[in-house]
Amino acid sequence: MTTLLLNIKELLQTEDAPKMMVSGAEMKKLPTIKNAYLLIEDSEIRDFGSMENLPKINADETIDVSGKIVLPTWVDSHTHIVYAGNREQEFVDRINGLSYEEIANRGGGILNSAKKLQEISEEELFEQSRKRLEEVMALGTGAVEIKSGYGLTLEAELKMLRVIKRLKETYDLPIKATFLGAHAVPANYKENKEGYMNYVIDEMLPKVAEENLAEFVDIFCETGYFSVEDTDRLLEAGKKYGMIPKIHVNQFTAIGGVQSGVKHEALSVDHLEEMREEDIKILKGSKTMPVGLPSCSYFLSIPYTPARKMIDAGLPLALATDYNPGSTPSGNMNFVVATACIKMKMTPEEAINAATINGAYAMGISDTHGSICIGKKANFMITKEIPSYGFIPYSFGSNCIESVFINGKKI
């Protein structure tokens, strides 16, 4: 089956030689072809180029996309979309003056979600989660990482991870699962964090590995949650099972978690609202992708990841949603890209790079996703008729995406 898109106003993120990511000044460059064609064969990109050089092709299907822009689908490398219920009461509590920390200390926050998750059936959890996944796919997300971490018991963590597995089996987009058992210390271990870490490492981790339920291992390395020592210990243990590290780090305080991530060759370090010079320095030349989550900063009114400082220092940066019931009840990557431009002073080119190829790196899939490149998966989207790609972040809050293709098929 071949599909030919003709008269594309502008085809974005085209690559002749595939690269794994872009960093520093390179992020300002977004390769594009104006007045382009794109040829899809089955699930892959077969050819693309300028309409002037269009070869004679007998495609099974031809689509005229005059006036519309085509770009690779967004890669959302950080989400918690498998969760039970919502937390809008905490949202109201915050409006009325309580802080995220105060709510957590009263048994709200992650522990509130864990209680709901422990009570829900696997079937119902799947149903709630699939709706969110379908919603974000329609908004242009064509690859997604999903974390556990609202279970906090062996049974409930496995329930979450099995739901992620079922989502993988049900949908065509790449999904990567992350084991985040060390997301918060549950109430029954309140005075015994070490006991909970032992439970995560000695009982949860082996079971998760045995059932092959997670590619990545993650921990919330933060004051009041888990220390750098806990992080070192968990990442070390995860690696024995072949799980690649990712960390929630520097969200509220900088305590050395970035250094731990780099030491363990974490694929990404995520949040980074609080960045010290030494954190930027250690990331330079490392294999670890820094990931900013601007919707979280927006929703919690906390600082934004200092993108300008980081990119100007030569670092790469990826952008993701953090879709979760507490700090970011939104999975809209278009909003992430817009907020990165508006609040983090990233250019549209930088933001699009961060949300496609660099997101793909942070998911370990940049050899197959994140750009328009011959042989890569045909995961792309067609915009409505818009004047330029800068219009996508400019018209924040509007949906510019008309249709989304996953593995060459329109969803």
Write out the residues near ligand NIG by the rule CB under 6 A: 109-110, 113, 220, 248, 251, 296, 322, 324-327
Handedness of CA 330, 341, 250, 365 (dihedral sign): positive
Q: Are 320 and 385 in contact (CB under 8 A)?
A: no
**Cα gap 31→43, rounded to integer Å:** 23
Interacting partner of 110 out of ligand NIG, Fe ion, none (Cβ under 5 to 8 A depending on kind): ligand NIG
Q: What is the dihedral of CA 342, 348, 349, 352, to 10 degrees?
A: 90
Residue 332: CB minimum distance to ligand NIG, A = 16
Rank residues 220 and 405 by Cβ distance to ligand NIG and give the closer one: 220
Interacting partner of 140 out of ligand NIG, Fe ion, none (Cβ under 5 to 8 A depending on kind): none
Q: What are phi and psi of 180, to 5 degrees?
A: -120, 45
Residue 198: CB minimum distance to ligand NIG, A = 22
Q: How far is CA 93 from the centre of its chain?
A: 28
Residue 216: CB minimum distance to ligand NIG, A = 14
Rank residues 104 and 283 by Cβ distance to ligand NIG and give the closer one: 104
Q: Is 322 in the site for Fe ion (CB under 5 A)?
A: yes
Interacting partner of 132 out of ligand NIG, Fe ion, none (Cβ under 5 to 8 A depending on kind): none
**Cα gap 10→7, rounded to integer Å:** 9
Q: What is the 3-state secondary structure (H, E, C) of 131-188?
A: HHHHHHHHCCEEEEEEECCCCCCHHHHHHHHHHHHHHHHHCCCCEEEEEEEECCCCHH
Residue 150: CB minimum distance to Fe ion, A = 11
Residue 80: CB minimum distance to Fe ion, A = 6
**Cα gap 367→407, rounded to integer Å:** 15
Rank residues 157 and 322 by Cβ distance to Fe ion and give the closer one: 322
Rank residues 198 and 223 by Cβ distance to ligand NIG and give the closer one: 223
Residue 123: CB minimum distance to ligand NIG, A = 22
Interacting partner of 186 out of ligand NIG, Fe ion, none (Cβ under 5 to 8 A depending on kind): none
CB under 5 A: which stretch of 25-33, 61-69, 319-327, 353-361 binds Fe ion? 319-327
User: Residues of 178-200 as b/e, b for ≥16 C-beta within 10 angstroms?
Assistant: bbbbbbbbbeebeeeeeebbebb
User: Residues of 219-244 as b/e, b for ≥16 C-beta within 10 angstroms?
Assistant: bbbbeebbbbebbbbbbebbeeeebb
Interacting partner of 251 out of Fe ion, ligand NIG, none (Cβ under 5 to 8 A depending on kind): ligand NIG
Rank residues 216 and 220 by Cβ distance to ligand NIG and give the closer one: 220
Which residue is closest to Fe ion by CB? 322
Residue carrying structure tokens 């030494």? 278
Interacting partner of 3 out of ligand NIG, Fe ion, none (Cβ under 5 to 8 A depending on kind): none
Interacting partner of 326 out of ligand NIG, Fe ion, none (Cβ under 5 to 8 A depending on kind): ligand NIG
Q: Is 273 in the site for Fe ion (CB under 5 A)?
A: no
Interacting partner of 79 out of ligand NIG, Fe ion, none (Cβ under 5 to 8 A depending on kind): none
* DSSP structural state of residue 377: B
**Cα gap 287→271, rounded to integer Å:** 17
Q: Is 230 in the site for Fe ion (CB under 5 A)?
A: no
Handedness of CA 129, 130, 135, 139 (dihedral sign): positive
Q: What is the dihedral of CA 103, 86, 173, 21, to 10 degrees?
A: -20
Residue 78: CB minimum distance to Fe ion, A = 6
Which residue is closest to ligand NIG by CB? 326
User: Which residues 6+ apart lie within 8 Å of 191 measured at CB?
Assistant: none
Residue carrying structure tokens 């799980």? 243
Rank residues 238 and 325 by Cβ distance to ligand NIG and give the closer one: 325
Rank residues 55 and 97 by Cβ distance to ligand NIG and give the closer one: 97
Handedness of CA 241, 245, 251, 256 (dihedral sign): positive
Residue 80: CB minimum distance to ligand NIG, A = 6
Residue 248: CB minimum distance to ligand NIG, A = 5
Number of residues in contact with Fe ion under rule CB under 5 A: 1
Residue 150: CB minimum distance to ligand NIG, A = 7
Q: What are phi and psi of 344, to 5 degrees?
A: -105, 0
Residues that bind Fe ion (CB under 5 A): 322
